[in-house]
Structure 1
Amino acid sequence: MPSRLYPEDQKRVEEYLNSPLHQVERKPFRVWVLLAVILASVIGLGLLSRALASLVLG
Structure 2
Amino acid sequence: MKVAEGLRSDKATFLPNKDGSFKVEVDMGRPIGPKGERWIRILANDEGKACNAFPCNP
TM exceeding 0.5:
no
Greater RCO, CA 8 A, separation 6+: 2
Q: Which has the larger radius of gyration?
A: 1
Q: Structure 2-normalised TM-score?
A: 0.18
- Write 1 or 2 for the structure with the bigger share of strand: 2
Greater share of residues in helix: 1
